[in-house]
Protein backbone atom coordinates (compact mmCIF):
# COMPACT_ATOMS: atom_id res chain seq x y z
CA UNK A 1 0.00 0.00 0.00
CA UNK A 2 1.39 3.38 -1.00
CA UNK A 3 2.26 5.69 1.89
CA UNK A 4 0.26 8.91 2.29
CA UNK A 5 2.41 11.92 1.46
CA UNK A 6 3.42 14.06 4.42
CA UNK A 7 4.24 17.16 2.38
CA UNK A 8 3.05 18.49 -0.98
CA UNK A 9 5.79 20.62 -2.56
CA UNK A 10 4.60 23.06 -5.21
CA UNK A 11 7.10 24.37 -7.77
CA UNK A 12 5.91 26.93 -10.35
CA UNK A 13 8.11 26.56 -13.42
CA UNK A 14 8.71 29.16 -16.11
CA UNK A 15 11.74 29.07 -18.44
CA UNK A 16 13.85 27.37 -15.79
CA UNK A 17 15.79 24.91 -17.94
CA UNK A 18 19.16 26.01 -16.53
CA UNK A 19 18.36 25.30 -12.89
CA UNK A 20 15.20 23.20 -12.53
CA UNK A 21 17.14 19.91 -12.26
CA UNK A 22 19.11 21.17 -9.26
CA UNK A 23 15.92 22.37 -7.58
CA UNK A 24 14.02 19.12 -8.07
CA UNK A 25 17.02 16.97 -7.16
CA UNK A 26 17.22 18.75 -3.80
CA UNK A 27 13.52 17.92 -3.23
CA UNK A 28 13.72 14.29 -4.34
CA UNK A 29 16.65 13.57 -2.01
CA UNK A 30 14.99 14.94 1.13
CA UNK A 31 15.21 12.76 4.23
CA UNK A 32 11.40 13.03 4.39
CA UNK A 33 10.57 10.74 1.49
CA UNK A 34 6.75 10.73 1.65
CA UNK A 35 6.26 13.60 -0.77
CA UNK A 36 3.88 14.80 -3.45
CA UNK A 37 6.00 16.90 -5.80
CA UNK A 38 3.83 19.15 -7.97
CA UNK A 39 5.52 20.89 -10.90
CA UNK A 40 3.31 23.44 -12.64
CA UNK A 41 4.76 24.58 -15.94
CA UNK A 42 3.44 28.07 -16.63
CA UNK A 43 3.75 28.16 -20.40
CA UNK A 44 7.54 27.89 -20.62
CA UNK A 45 9.04 28.66 -24.02
CA UNK A 46 12.29 26.79 -23.38
CA UNK A 47 12.83 23.10 -22.55
CA UNK A 48 11.52 23.32 -18.98
CA UNK A 49 8.39 21.24 -19.61
CA UNK A 50 10.35 18.48 -21.33
CA UNK A 51 12.86 18.40 -18.46
CA UNK A 52 10.03 18.19 -15.92
CA UNK A 53 8.44 15.27 -17.79
CA UNK A 54 11.78 13.46 -17.90
CA UNK A 55 12.23 13.97 -14.16
CA UNK A 56 8.72 12.56 -13.67
CA UNK A 57 9.75 9.32 -15.40
CA UNK A 58 12.54 8.91 -12.85
CA UNK A 59 10.44 9.54 -9.73
CA UNK A 60 6.79 8.52 -9.38
CA UNK A 61 6.24 11.14 -6.66
CA UNK A 62 6.49 13.88 -9.29
CA UNK A 63 3.32 15.20 -10.94
CA UNK A 64 3.67 17.55 -13.91
CA UNK A 65 0.97 19.96 -15.06
CA UNK A 66 1.09 22.42 -17.92
CA UNK A 67 -0.91 25.62 -18.36
CA UNK A 68 -0.81 28.62 -20.63
CA UNK A 69 1.31 31.43 -19.22
CA UNK A 70 -0.65 33.08 -16.41
CA UNK A 71 2.02 33.92 -13.85
CA UNK A 72 3.37 32.43 -10.63
CA UNK A 73 0.17 33.22 -8.70
CA UNK A 74 -1.95 31.05 -10.99
CA UNK A 75 0.67 28.29 -10.99
CA UNK A 76 0.78 28.21 -7.19
CA UNK A 77 -3.02 28.23 -6.97
CA UNK A 78 -3.14 25.26 -9.33
CA UNK A 79 -0.64 23.47 -7.12
CA UNK A 80 -2.74 24.14 -4.02
CA UNK A 81 -5.82 22.69 -5.73
CA UNK A 82 -3.89 19.49 -6.34
CA UNK A 83 -2.14 19.24 -2.97
CA UNK A 84 -3.33 16.25 -0.94
CA UNK A 85 -0.72 15.95 1.82
CA UNK A 86 -1.08 17.20 5.39
CA UNK A 87 1.46 19.96 4.79
CA UNK A 88 2.31 22.12 1.80
CA UNK A 89 5.41 24.10 0.83
CA UNK A 90 6.27 26.38 -2.07
CA UNK A 91 9.72 26.21 -3.68
CA UNK A 92 10.81 28.56 -6.46
CA UNK A 93 12.36 26.78 -9.44
CA UNK A 94 15.71 28.57 -9.14
CA UNK A 95 16.15 27.76 -5.42
CA UNK A 96 16.90 24.52 -3.58
CA UNK A 97 16.62 22.82 -0.18
CA UNK A 98 19.07 21.52 2.36
CA UNK A 99 18.89 17.70 2.49
CA UNK A 100 17.27 17.59 5.94
CA UNK A 101 15.36 20.86 5.49
CA UNK A 102 11.89 19.34 5.30
CA UNK A 103 12.63 16.98 8.19
CA UNK A 104 13.47 19.94 10.42
CA UNK A 105 10.28 21.79 9.48
CA UNK A 106 8.07 18.71 9.75
CA UNK A 107 9.36 17.87 13.23
CA UNK A 108 8.80 21.45 14.43
CA UNK A 109 5.29 21.47 12.96
CA UNK A 110 4.42 18.19 14.69
CA UNK A 111 6.01 19.20 17.98
CA UNK A 112 4.27 22.57 18.33
CA UNK A 113 1.00 21.76 16.49
CA UNK A 114 0.97 25.07 14.61
CA UNK A 115 -0.66 26.33 11.42
CA UNK A 116 2.72 26.92 9.83
CA UNK A 117 6.45 26.95 10.53
CA UNK A 118 8.40 29.88 9.19
CA UNK A 119 12.19 29.90 8.84
CA UNK A 120 15.19 32.02 7.91
CA UNK A 121 16.75 30.99 4.60
CA UNK A 122 20.24 31.35 3.15
CA UNK A 123 21.05 33.95 0.50
CA UNK A 124 23.20 32.01 -1.95
CA UNK A 125 25.57 33.60 -4.48
CA UNK A 126 24.28 37.14 -4.00
CA UNK A 127 26.63 39.86 -5.31
CA UNK A 128 29.01 41.17 -2.66
CA UNK A 129 28.10 38.46 -0.14
CA UNK A 130 29.68 35.23 0.98
CA UNK A 131 28.16 32.12 -0.58
CA UNK A 132 25.64 31.18 2.11
CA UNK A 133 24.61 34.13 4.27
CA UNK A 134 21.51 34.11 6.49
CA UNK A 135 18.70 36.17 4.96
CA UNK A 136 18.44 39.44 6.85
CA UNK A 137 15.99 42.26 6.36
CA UNK A 138 15.77 45.77 7.77
CA UNK A 139 15.94 45.80 11.58
CA UNK A 140 12.35 47.01 11.84
CA UNK A 141 11.21 43.85 10.01
CA UNK A 142 13.12 41.27 12.03
CA UNK A 143 11.36 38.69 14.22
CA UNK A 144 12.61 36.73 17.20
CA UNK A 145 12.37 32.96 17.06
CA UNK A 146 9.83 30.83 18.88
CA UNK A 147 6.08 30.36 19.19
CA UNK A 148 3.69 33.13 18.16
CA UNK A 149 0.18 32.79 19.60
CA UNK A 150 -2.62 35.29 18.92
CA UNK A 151 -1.58 37.58 21.77
CA UNK A 152 2.01 37.78 20.56
CA UNK A 153 0.89 38.18 16.94
CA UNK A 154 -1.37 41.10 17.84
CA UNK A 155 1.37 42.77 19.88
CA UNK A 156 4.42 42.17 17.66
CA UNK A 157 3.25 41.45 14.11
CA UNK A 158 0.02 43.38 13.54
CA UNK A 159 1.57 46.86 14.09
CA UNK A 160 3.84 46.19 11.09
CA UNK A 161 1.97 43.47 9.20
CA UNK A 162 1.54 45.30 5.87
CA UNK A 163 4.22 47.99 6.05
CA UNK A 164 6.23 50.12 8.46
CA UNK A 165 6.75 53.84 8.99
CA UNK A 166 10.19 53.30 7.42
CA UNK A 167 8.31 52.40 4.20
CA UNK A 168 9.41 48.79 4.24
CA UNK A 169 7.24 45.71 4.05
CA UNK A 170 6.32 43.78 7.18
CA UNK A 171 8.25 40.88 8.72
CA UNK A 172 6.35 38.07 6.96
CA UNK A 173 6.43 38.18 3.16
CA UNK A 174 7.94 35.38 1.05
CA UNK A 175 5.40 32.58 0.51
CA UNK A 176 8.26 30.10 0.02
CA UNK A 177 9.51 30.84 3.54
CA UNK A 178 7.24 28.44 5.42
CA UNK A 179 5.71 24.98 5.72
CA UNK A 180 1.90 25.35 5.91
CA UNK A 181 -0.83 23.04 7.17
CA UNK A 182 -2.83 22.31 4.03
CA UNK A 183 -6.25 22.36 5.63
CA UNK A 184 -5.40 25.70 7.29
CA UNK A 185 -4.87 27.31 3.86
CA UNK A 186 -7.95 25.69 2.33
CA UNK A 187 -10.29 26.30 5.28
CA UNK A 188 -9.42 30.00 5.34
CA UNK A 189 -9.48 30.30 1.53
CA UNK A 190 -5.94 31.66 1.42
CA UNK A 191 -4.77 31.88 -2.15
CA UNK A 192 -2.83 34.14 -4.53
CA UNK A 193 -4.57 36.92 -6.45
CA UNK A 194 -3.88 35.90 -10.03
CA UNK A 195 -4.00 39.41 -11.50
CA UNK A 196 -1.03 40.29 -9.26
CA UNK A 197 1.91 39.19 -11.37
CA UNK A 198 4.75 40.57 -9.23
CA UNK A 199 5.25 40.62 -5.44
CA UNK A 200 2.28 38.28 -5.16
CA UNK A 201 3.55 37.02 -1.78
CA UNK A 202 2.71 40.26 0.07
CA UNK A 203 -1.03 39.75 0.43
CA UNK A 204 -0.85 35.96 0.65
CA UNK A 205 1.49 36.13 3.65
CA UNK A 206 -0.49 38.91 5.32
CA UNK A 207 -3.70 36.85 5.01
CA UNK A 208 -1.86 33.88 6.53
CA UNK A 209 -1.07 36.01 9.60
CA UNK A 210 -4.65 37.28 9.81
CA UNK A 211 -6.02 33.73 9.94
CA UNK A 212 -3.47 31.86 12.03
CA UNK A 213 -3.96 31.00 15.67
CA UNK A 214 -0.37 29.94 16.20
CA UNK A 215 2.87 29.63 14.24
CA UNK A 216 6.53 28.91 14.93
CA UNK A 217 9.51 30.86 13.64
CA UNK A 218 12.89 29.13 13.29
CA UNK A 219 15.34 31.99 13.53
CA UNK A 220 18.53 30.02 12.80
CA UNK A 221 19.34 30.02 9.09
CA UNK A 222 19.09 26.86 7.04
CA UNK A 223 16.44 24.83 5.18
CA UNK A 224 16.30 26.83 1.93
CA UNK A 225 18.81 28.37 -0.50
CA UNK A 226 17.44 31.62 -1.93
CA UNK A 227 19.57 31.97 -5.04
CA UNK A 228 20.43 35.25 -6.72
CA UNK A 229 19.06 34.85 -10.23
CA UNK A 230 20.13 37.78 -12.44
CA UNK A 231 17.39 36.90 -14.94
CA UNK A 232 14.49 36.88 -12.48
CA UNK A 233 11.50 39.18 -12.98
CA UNK A 234 12.48 41.25 -9.96
CA UNK A 235 15.73 42.33 -11.62
CA UNK A 236 14.52 43.35 -15.07
CA UNK A 237 11.80 45.63 -16.42
CA UNK A 238 8.50 44.00 -17.27
CA UNK A 239 5.56 45.63 -19.00
CA UNK A 240 2.57 45.83 -16.66
CA UNK A 241 4.58 45.99 -13.43
CA UNK A 242 2.85 49.21 -12.28
CA UNK A 243 -0.62 47.84 -13.13
CA UNK A 244 0.17 44.81 -10.99
CA UNK A 245 1.39 47.08 -8.19
CA UNK A 246 -1.97 48.86 -8.23
CA UNK A 247 -3.74 45.53 -7.80
CA UNK A 248 -1.77 44.99 -4.58
CA UNK A 249 -3.16 48.26 -3.24
CA UNK A 250 -6.68 47.47 -4.45
CA UNK A 251 -6.83 44.04 -2.81
CA UNK A 252 -5.11 45.26 0.36
CA UNK A 253 -7.87 47.86 0.76
CA UNK A 254 -10.55 45.20 0.40
CA UNK A 255 -8.90 42.73 2.77
CA UNK A 256 -7.65 45.06 5.50
CA UNK A 257 -9.50 48.38 5.53
CA UNK A 258 -12.37 47.37 7.82
CA UNK A 259 -10.82 44.77 10.10
CA UNK A 260 -12.44 44.75 13.53
CA UNK A 261 -9.48 43.44 15.51
CA UNK A 262 -7.02 46.09 14.32
CA UNK A 263 -7.03 49.38 12.38
CA UNK A 264 -4.74 49.04 9.35
CA UNK A 265 -5.57 52.44 7.81
CA UNK A 266 -2.14 53.92 8.52
CA UNK A 267 -0.33 50.83 7.25
CA UNK A 268 -2.39 50.85 4.07
CA UNK A 269 -1.10 54.37 3.41
CA UNK A 270 2.49 53.26 4.05
CA UNK A 271 2.01 50.22 1.80
CA UNK A 272 0.68 52.43 -0.98
CA UNK A 273 3.72 54.70 -0.79
CA UNK A 274 6.02 51.67 -0.69
CA UNK A 275 4.38 50.31 -3.84
CA UNK A 276 4.54 53.71 -5.56
CA UNK A 277 8.28 53.88 -4.86
CA UNK A 278 8.75 50.33 -6.17
CA UNK A 279 6.86 51.22 -9.34
CA UNK A 280 8.87 54.40 -9.83
CA UNK A 281 12.15 52.57 -9.28
CA UNK A 282 11.36 50.52 -12.38
CA UNK A 283 12.37 53.49 -14.52
CA UNK A 284 16.02 52.64 -13.77
CA UNK A 285 15.64 49.41 -15.76
CA UNK A 286 14.58 51.31 -18.89
CA UNK A 287 17.36 52.16 -21.33
CA UNK A 288 15.32 54.36 -23.65
CA UNK A 289 15.01 57.91 -22.27
CA UNK A 290 11.76 58.70 -24.13
CA UNK A 291 10.13 55.51 -22.82
CA UNK A 292 11.26 56.40 -19.31
CA UNK A 293 9.67 59.82 -19.70
CA UNK A 294 6.34 58.33 -20.77
CA UNK A 295 6.47 55.83 -17.92
CA UNK A 296 7.18 58.44 -15.22
CA UNK A 297 4.47 60.79 -16.46
CA UNK A 298 1.89 57.97 -16.60
CA UNK A 299 2.75 56.69 -13.12
CA UNK A 300 2.82 60.05 -11.36
CA UNK A 301 -0.44 61.12 -13.00
CA UNK A 302 -2.17 57.91 -11.99
CA UNK A 303 -5.22 58.55 -9.72
CA UNK A 304 -3.79 56.06 -7.19
CA UNK A 305 -0.75 58.31 -6.74
CA UNK A 306 -2.60 61.60 -6.88
CA UNK A 307 -5.15 60.72 -4.18
CA UNK A 308 -2.73 59.04 -1.76
CA UNK A 309 -2.23 61.37 1.24
CA UNK A 310 1.37 62.11 2.22
CA UNK A 311 1.86 62.46 5.97
CA UNK A 312 5.58 63.11 6.35
CA UNK A 313 5.28 63.44 10.14
CA UNK A 314 4.21 59.78 10.38
CA UNK A 315 7.24 58.50 8.50
CA UNK A 316 10.69 57.58 9.75
CA UNK A 317 12.67 57.84 6.51
CA UNK A 318 15.86 59.69 5.50
CA UNK A 319 15.61 63.30 4.34
CA UNK A 320 16.51 62.25 0.81
CA UNK A 321 13.50 59.95 0.68
CA UNK A 322 11.25 62.66 2.10
CA UNK A 323 12.32 64.91 -0.76
CA UNK A 324 11.51 62.17 -3.28
CA UNK A 325 8.07 61.73 -1.76
CA UNK A 326 7.50 65.47 -1.87
CA UNK A 327 8.48 65.59 -5.56
CA UNK A 328 6.10 62.71 -6.30
CA UNK A 329 3.25 64.49 -4.55
CA UNK A 330 4.05 67.69 -6.48
CA UNK A 331 3.96 65.59 -9.68
CA UNK A 332 7.45 66.56 -10.83
CA UNK A 333 7.49 63.59 -13.19
CA UNK A 334 10.02 65.17 -15.58
CA UNK A 335 12.70 65.15 -12.87
CA UNK A 336 12.27 61.42 -12.33
CA UNK A 337 12.60 60.79 -16.05
CA UNK A 338 16.06 62.38 -15.89
CA UNK A 339 17.48 60.77 -12.74
What number is the average pLDDT over the span 252-272?
Answer: 95
Residue-wise pLDDT for 1-25, tens only, equals 457 899 999 999 999 999 999 999 9
Give the CA angle between residues 205, 93, 86 to the nearest 5°.
55
Would you give the distance in Å from CA 92 to the centre of its chain?
A: 10
What number is the average pLDDT over the span 293-301?
Answer: 94
Residue-wise pLDDT for 75-133, tens only, equals 999 999 999 999 999 999 999 999 999 999 999 999 999 999 999 998 876 666 667 77
Give the number of other Cβ atoms within 10 Å of residue 303's Cβ: 8
Q: Inform me whether the pLDDT recorded for 229 exceeds 80.
A: no
Non-local (6+) Cβ contacts of 9 within 8 A are: 27, 35, 36, 37, 38, 88, 89, 90, 91
Give bridge partners of residue 181 from the DSSP assignment.
87
Query: Does the reported pTM lie above 0.75?
Result: yes
Give the CA angle between residues 83, 88, 90 to the nearest 5°.
105
Average pLDDT, the chain: 92
Give the model's pLDDT for residue 235.
47
Q: Inform me whether the pLDDT recorded for 274 exceeds 60.
A: yes
What number is the average pLDDT over the span 25-40?
Answer: 97
Which of these ranges, 101-110, 231-240, 288-297, has the smallest mean pLDDT?
Answer: 231-240
Non-local (6+) Cβ contacts of 282 within 8 A are: 237, 241, 242, 295
DSSP 169: B
Give the model's pLDDT for residue 233.
46
Q: Inform me whether the pLDDT recorded for 234 exceeds 70.
A: no
Quick one: CA dihedral 94, 162, 203, 252, positive or negative?
A: negative
Which of these ranges, 182-191, 239-248, 315-324, has the smallest mean pLDDT?
Answer: 239-248
Give the model's pLDDT for residue 337.
87
Give the model's pLDDT for residue 75.
97
- Report the alpha-carbon distance of residue 306 to residue 286 in Å, rounded: 23
- Report the alpha-carbon distance of residue 226 to residue 73 in Å, rounded: 19
Phi, psi of 241 (to 5 degrees): -60, -45
What number is the average pLDDT over the span 325-334?
Answer: 94
Amino acid sequence: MEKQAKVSIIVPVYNAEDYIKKCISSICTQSVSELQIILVDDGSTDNSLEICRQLQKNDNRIEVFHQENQGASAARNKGMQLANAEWVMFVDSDDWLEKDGLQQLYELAQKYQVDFVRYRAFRTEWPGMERNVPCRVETVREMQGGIYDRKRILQEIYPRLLATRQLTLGPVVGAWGALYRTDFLKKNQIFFFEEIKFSEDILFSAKVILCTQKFYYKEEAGIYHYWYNPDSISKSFREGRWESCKKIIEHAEIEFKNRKEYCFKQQLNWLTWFVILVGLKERGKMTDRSERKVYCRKLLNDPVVRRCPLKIQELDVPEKQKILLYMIKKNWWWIFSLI
